[in-house]
A and B are shown apart, each in its own frame.
Chain A
Amino acid sequence: DADVTQTPRNRITKTGKRIMLECSQTKGHDRMYWYRQDPGLGLRLIYYSFDVKDINKGEISDGYSVSRQAQAKFSLSLESAIPNQTALYFCATSEAGGPVETQYFGPGTRLLVL
């Protein structure tokens, strides 16, 4: 079984709709992240959470919100989806400690906003 899972894997929605992307992990890591990937732009950080009570904005948090329901679950919401939020979204986890933490990524959710 995958250590980091994302649901749904694909989603089509309409402008103005609220949607939620979910991420679950069985790695036991405290830190979780949400990224988006756009063609020609690489991966950009939306939000990150160091534990259930610690949530922080990344570089492109406008239009998004998150919820850390438990150590293993981190959800990303688009309050009112717009077409330029069409992208590939990745969840990632890491374990605190060591000089640099390796991040482990989920398989991604492909979102299309019409």
Chain B
Amino acid sequence: DQQVKQNSPSLSVQEGRISILNCDYTNSMFDYFLWYKKYPAEGPTFLISISSIKDKNEDGRFTVFLNKSAKHLSLHIVPSQPGDSAVYFCAATMVSGFQKLVFGTGTRLLVSP
């Protein structure tokens, strides 16, 4: 039972344009969401997060949007750069108790010059 889903395994975008990565979840108990970025031969690194009490969080070129009613979040990268080419994992957790992260399957982003 995949509680966190990233339905697009890959996405190609031109440099300078917007990249939109999507993530859906099924467990309404999740109240905190994170995005991790992974380059080849490296471990995932934390990128940005959002609490369920917010609907938007912005950090430089990266913005995460949360739609709780739809159980959907998205990561926007504007403008996209070739160095953003990586696999992006969405993860969800519950703040109370042990904060087990439930990861999505990842979306491979390719930003071409």
Complex interface: chain B residues within 8 A of A32 (CB): none
Question: Do A99 and B46 touch (CB < 8 A)?
Answer: no
Interface 9-mer from A12-20, A41-49, A61-69, A73-81: A41-49
Question: Do A43 and B46 touch (CB < 8 A)?
Answer: no
Question: Do B43 and A107 touch (CB < 8 A)?
Answer: yes
Q: Which residue of A lies closest to B38 (CB)?
A: A105
Residue tally, chain B, CB below 8 Å to A: 23
Distance between Cα atoms of A10 and B69 in the complex (Å): 43
Interface 9-mer from B58-66, B77-85, B96-104: B96-104
Question: Do B45 and A40 touch (CB < 8 A)?
Answer: no
Q: Which residue of A lies closest to B49 (CB)?
A: A100
Question: Do A92 and B49 touch (CB < 8 A)?
Answer: no
CB within 8 A of A43: which of B41, B42, B89, B95?
B89
Question: Do B99 and A101 touch (CB < 8 A)?
Answer: yes
Tell me the A59-114 residues at the B interface (CB within 8 Å): 90, 92, 99-108
Q: Chain B CB within 10 Å — which of A42, A90, A103 has the most?
A: A42
Q: Which residue of A lies closest to B104 (CB)?
A: A42
Question: Do A45 and B43 touch (CB < 8 A)?
Answer: no
Distance between Cα atoms of A92 and B103 in the complex (Å): 14
Distance between Cα atoms of A61 and B4 in the complex (Å): 20
Q: How far is the CB of A59 from chain B (nearest CB, A)?
A: 8
B93 interface residue, CB < 8 Å from A? yes
Question: Do A100 and B95 touch (CB < 8 A)?
Answer: yes
Complex interface: chain B residues within 8 A of A40 (CB): 105
Q: Which residue of B lies closest to A43 (CB)?
A: B103
Complex interface: chain A residues within 8 A of B46 (CB): 102-104
A interface residues, Cβ below 8 angstroms from B:
4, 40-45, 48, 56, 58, 90, 92, 99-108
- List 6 tightest A-B contacts by C-beta distance, closest first: A105-B43, A42-B103, A43-B103, A42-B105, A102-B46, A105-B44
